[in-house]
Amino acid sequence: MRRAPFFWKVYIACLLCVGAVVLLGALLEDSGRSLWVALAAGAIVALVVTVLLARPAIGRLRTISTALRKLAAAEFGHRVEVDRHDEIGGLAHDFNVAAGGLHERFSAISGDRAKMASILSGMIDGVVAVDADARVIHINQTASRLLGAPAIESLGRPVWEITRITALAELLADVLATGLPRDHEARIVEKPRDRHVALYASPLLDEAGHNAGAVAVLHDVSELRRLEQVRRDFVANVSHELKTPITAIQGLVETLLDDSGTDGPTRQKFLERVRHQSERLSNLATDLLSLSRLEADHSLLEPLSLDWRSVITESITALGPLSQKRGVLIRSVLNPLPVEVIGDRETLRQVIDNLLDNAIKHTPSGGQVTVSLSGDRNRATLEVTDTGIGIDPVHQERIFERFYRVDTARSREMGGTGLGLAIVKHVVLAHSGTVTVDSTPGHGSTFRVTLPLASAEPPGR
C-alpha cells in the first residue's frame, strides 16, 4: 500500500482552512462584519485542525526519539511499533532496520574483542599497547605480572608511570617517534635471581596508515639465560674436572719414566696417586654417563615393584666400612611393613648411595647419620639426616646443579665428582618424585626424597 504523505495531509487541511476563512470572510462582509474577525476565526480553526492532525505524529516522533536514546545507550533490543503508513511510519521502520543492523555489528565486534582479550590473556608472553601519547590502552595479565603493574590501574596512564623498567618506556617512545619496530633485552633485578625479559615493539597504524600507537611483546627469557649459563658452567667444569686428573696422571707417569732410579717406597707412593687419580677419572666418566642417560631417555630405566627397604639396607651395608673409617654412626629407622614403590633398582640404589655417602663425608667423627623410611596412603618418604657441618641457605637452591660444590677443596679432597646430587635429582624426577633439603649451618642437614607408592591411586581418581 502506498504511504499517504503526512505533510500533504497537513498542507491540504491548511488549504481547506484558508478556503473556509475566505468563505467566512465573504459571508461576514455581506453581513457587515469585519474581515479581521473572519481571519482570526479562520486562524483558530486552522490551528485546531493542525494540532489534531499533528498530535499522533508528535507522539510517534517522541517514541522514536526515546528509542534513539536507548539505541545510543547500547540497548539494541528495543524496537518501535510500525502502525502507520506515512513518512513517520517509514521512519519507524527504518529505525528498526538500523537497530537490528547495529545490534548484529555490535555483537560481532564484542565477540571479536572478547576473543582477542581471551587470546591475549592466555598468552605466556606479556602484551602492552599504548596510544600516540604513550598511554596504556591494553595490558594483559602476564605483562602486569612482569612489570609489577595492576592491569586495571595501568589503563590510561603513561607507560613510564606504571613500571620501573625504563627500557620498555624508552623502546615504545622510540617506536612512536620513528614508526619502526625495535627490540631490546631488559634485566630486572629481583630476589633470589634476576629476571631477563626480551622486548619486541612495533607501531600500531590507523585506517589511514598513520602511526596511532605502539604495541610491545614481553618474553621472559630468564630460564633460557639460566640454562645458557648452566651449559657454559658445565663445559668449563667438565674441562677442568677432566684436565685435573689427566694432568696429575701424566705428571706422575712422566716422573716415573724419567727417573728410573726411584726407590721402591717412592715408586709405590706415585703409583698409588696414579691409581687414585684414575679412579677419580673413572668415577667422573661413570657419573657423566649416568647423568647423560637419565637426561636423554627415561625409558632406559627398568621400573619394577620393589620394597624400598631392601635397597636402603643394601646401601647401608655397602657404606658401613666408610662410616666406620670416619667414625660416623649410621642409624636406620625403617617402616616395619614393606614399602613398595615402582622403580629402577639400580638408579634408586644410586640415590641412596649418593645421599648416604655425602652425609658420612660431611659429618665429623663421632657424629651420626639417620636413614628413615615411612609410607602413607600414596607416598613413600626417605629422609637422610646428618649431624654434620650443614649447608648455608645461599647454597641450598643450587646444590642439585651439576658440578656445584659448597666447598670445592673439601669435596675434591674427599673424591667427589660434583655430580652426585645432580644424579639424585634426575633419578627422583624420572620416578615422578621430589627431592628437597632442609639444613642449618653447624647443625646438620636433612635430604628428603618422596616417591609414589606402588599402590597409589592414579592422579584424578
Domains (ranges, CATH) in the chain?
6-108 (no CATH), 124-220 (3.30.450.20), 225-296 (1.10.287.130), 300-452 (3.30.565.10)
Is residue 197 within 8 A of residue 185, CB to CB? The reply is yes
H or E segment and range at residue 97: helix 87-122
Rounded-to-10 torsion of CA 227, 230, 235, 239? -170
Say if residue 54's pLDDT is above 80: no
Say if residue 409's pLDDT is above 60: no
Task: State the CB neighbour count (10 A cutoff) for residue 386.
Answer: 28
- 400-408, long-range: CB < 8 A, 24+ apart: 400/424, 400/425, 400/435, 401/230, 401/233, 402/230, 402/233, 402/234, 402/237, 402/291, 403/233, 403/234, 403/237, 403/238, 403/241
**615393584: which residue's cell?**
305
The packing angle between helices 264-296 and 345-361, to 10°, is 130
Give the confidence band of 382 by pLDDT, cuts at 50, 70, 90.
very high
**659448597: which residue's cell?**
406
DSSP secondary structure string, 368-417? EEEEEEEE-SSEEEEEEEE-SS---HHHHTTTTSTT--SSHHHHHHTT--
Instruction: Tell me how far the alpha carbon of residue 115 is from its chain's centroid.
Output: 19
Is residue 162 within 8 A of residue 154, CB to CB? The reply is yes
**627490540: which residue's cell?**
183
Rounded-to-10 torsion of CA 283, 285, 290, 293? 180
User: CA 396, CA 203: separation in Å to the nearest integer?
Assistant: 45
pTM, full prediction: 0.49
**Per-residue pLDDT tens for 426-440?**
888 888 899 998 888
The terminus-to-terminus CA distance of the chain in angstroms comes to 71
Q: How far is CA 169 from CA 182, 222, 296, in A?
A: 12, 20, 43
**Per-residue pLDDT tens for 167-179?**
888 899 899 888 8
Task: State the CB neighbour count (10 A cutoff) for residue 304.
Answer: 11
**Per-residue pLDDT tens for 245-295?**
788 788 878 877 777 666 778 778 878 888 877 877 776 777 677 767 666
